[in-house]
Amino acid sequence: MKQKPQNIIRLIELLADGEFHSGAAIGQLLGVSRTAVSHYVTEVQKLGLDVFRVSGRGYRLAESIQLLDEGIIANYLASGEVSHLQLQRVVGSTNDTIRSLADADLVPGFTVLAEAQTAGRGRRGKQWQSPFGCNLYLSMYWPLNHGMAAAMGLSLAIGTAVAEALQAAGVIGVQLKWPNDVLVNGRKIAGILVELEGQATGDANAIIGVGLNLAMPVWLSNEIDQPWTDLRNVLATNFDRNWWAAELIQRCRAALCEFEQFGLTVFMPRWLQFDCLALQPVNILMGSEVVSGIAEGIDAQGGLLVRRDGILETFNAGEVSLRHAKKIID
């Protein structure tokens, strides 16, 4: 049984070129029967890849995919080092993978990248669609020397770093939606999930998960409960998945160093440049209660500032859900 996951990955690597490969040739390569090959193809499809079968020609992907490569990513990184990076083809979730390695004396900025997640999740436990070889899924370890309280606003700092990366690459209409969404013209392109472990004021660490849509299969649209987009749709040029992996790693590590030294304050004016809710009507969902007001940015702890009945109030990300209200008519 242990051979099965390995064979599925080997099959994906073979099909990545987008060319036809006969069942007989695949079976010979994997050392299995053609019936087993058919079963493996079904498992590949469960990972979000569209596989065609044509009688007499064999199997091929609907389109070729560029696989992530540790060595190429390391060459793009400023340090040129790969020792603080681990690439896995398929994981449950990259955040959970980091958590399982937490006793291994991880260095700050240690990163896990995956080609697919079978149990990817977003904020408040929502499923994060994570098809194989289409997007970027990474998680980064960061110690919190002053306890979990020092992480207030961390997701906003990372969101700013991702937004700035997209803007620098030529993406027009980049926006941030409090507390952890990156949008392009109102459609979600990336999300951040920060999970904390440890003591409020003692030893603690953060696991920062980032998902960036690069080339989401259109057929997955029905599985996503909000407007979305990807890099393929918003960039006029081709892109390199390995370059983008390195770019996210470098920008997130730099943002974490900056956040550790200065806190959220240094990010606030940068975050506000992308704020899609600035001076917009919003609904705050607190359990069964809904309160309405006008969003007026964030405070130094990462809370959302909302003016209600002339009074400026603060709402924290762990306590509420946020919705963009219908436009107010004067």
Residue 289 domain-assigned (yes or no): yes
Residue 330 domain-assigned (yes or no): no
Same domain, 231 and 290: no
Separation between Cα atoms, residue 298 and residue 178, nearest integer Å: 9
Look at residue 224 in the predicted model and tell me its pLDDT.
Answer: 73
Range scoring the smallest mean pLDDT among 181-195, 221-235, 298-312: 221-235
Look at residue 237 in the predicted model and tell me its pLDDT.
Answer: 81
Look at residue 133 in the predicted model and tell me its pLDDT.
Answer: 85
One-character DSSP codes across 78-130 = TT---TTEEEEEEES-HHHHHHHTTTS-PPTT-EEEEEEESS-B-GGG-B---
Residue 148 domain-assigned (yes or no): yes
pLDDT tens, position by position, 173-186: 999 999 889 999 99
Point out the domain boundary residue: 274, 292, 316: 274
Separation between Cα atoms, residue 107 and residue 200, nearest integer Å: 21
Same domain, 56 and 83: no
Residue range 44-59: average pLDDT? 88
Look at residue 266 in the predicted model and tell me its pLDDT.
Answer: 95
Same domain, 43 and 82: no
Q: Is 123 known to be catalytic?
A: yes
Residue 133 domain-assigned (yes or no): yes
Same domain, 45 and 130: no
Look at residue 250 in the predicted model and tell me its pLDDT.
Answer: 94
Nearest-5° Cα angle at 70, 69 to 74? 120
Point out the domain boundary residue: 252, 274, 296: 274
pLDDT tens, position by position, 148-197: 877 889 999 999 999 999 999 999 999 999 988 999 999 999 999 999 88
Cis peptide before 179 (omega within 30 of 0): yes
Same domain, 127 and 38: no
Residue 19 domain-assigned (yes or no): yes
Same domain, 104 and 224: yes
Range scoring the smallest mean pLDDT among 191-195, 217-221, 225-229, 300-304: 217-221
Same domain, 231 and 167: yes
Which residues lie closer than 8 Å to 79 by C-beta, 6 or more apart? none
Q: What CATH number is attached to the domain comprising 30?
A: 1.10.10.10
Same domain, 261 and 126: yes
Same domain, 299 and 187: no
Point out the domain boundary residue: 274, 291, 312: 274
Same domain, 51 and 176: no
Separation between Cα atoms, residue 197 and residue 201, nearest integer Å: 11
The more confident residue out of 270 and 62 is 270
When pLDDT is cut at 50, 70 and 90, the band that residue 125 belongs to is: low
Same domain, 266 and 293: no
Exactly one of 10, 123, 187, 270 is catalytic; which is it? Answer: 123
Domain range for 175: 70-274
Separation between Cα atoms, residue 51 and residue 17, nearest integer Å: 12
Q: Which residues partner with 315 through β-bridges?
A: 304
Residue 327 pLDDT > 50: no
And the tokens for 114?
């995956």
For residues 112 and 138, is the Cβ–Cβ distance under 8 A?
yes
Exactly one of 46, 232, 307, 323 is catalytic; which is it? Answer: 323
Residue 329 domain-assigned (yes or no): no
Residue 233 pLDDT > 60: yes
Q: What are phi and psi of 221, to 5 degrees?
A: -55, -40
pLDDT tens, position by position, 306-318: 999 889 988 887 6
Q: What CATH number is attached to the domain comprising 270?
A: 3.30.930.10
Look at residue 330 in the predicted model and tell me its pLDDT.
Answer: 25
Look at residue 319 in the predicted model and tell me its pLDDT.
Answer: 56
Q: What CATH number is attached to the domain comprising 305?
A: 2.30.30.100
Look at residue 322 in the predicted model and tell me its pLDDT.
Answer: 65
Look at residue 328 in the predicted model and tell me its pLDDT.
Answer: 37
Residue 161 domain-assigned (yes or no): yes
SS3 56: coil
And the tokens for 321?
């859900």
How many folded domains does the chain comprise?
A: 3
Range scoring the smallest mean pLDDT among 21-25, 75-79, 257-261, 298-302: 75-79
When pLDDT is cut at 50, 70 and 90, the band that residue 140 belongs to is: very high
Same domain, 123 and 264: yes
SS3 57: coil
SS3 65: coil
Separation between Cα atoms, residue 7 and residue 122, nearest integer Å: 29
CA nearest to 217, candidates 130, 136, 137: 130
Which residues lie closer than 8 Å to 53 by C-beta, 6 or more apart? 41, 59
Separation between Cα atoms, residue 116 and residue 94, nearest integer Å: 9
Exactly one of 89, 177, 188, 251 is catalytic; which is it? Answer: 188
Q: Is 323 known to be catalytic?
A: yes
Strands 174-177 and 204-212: unpaired
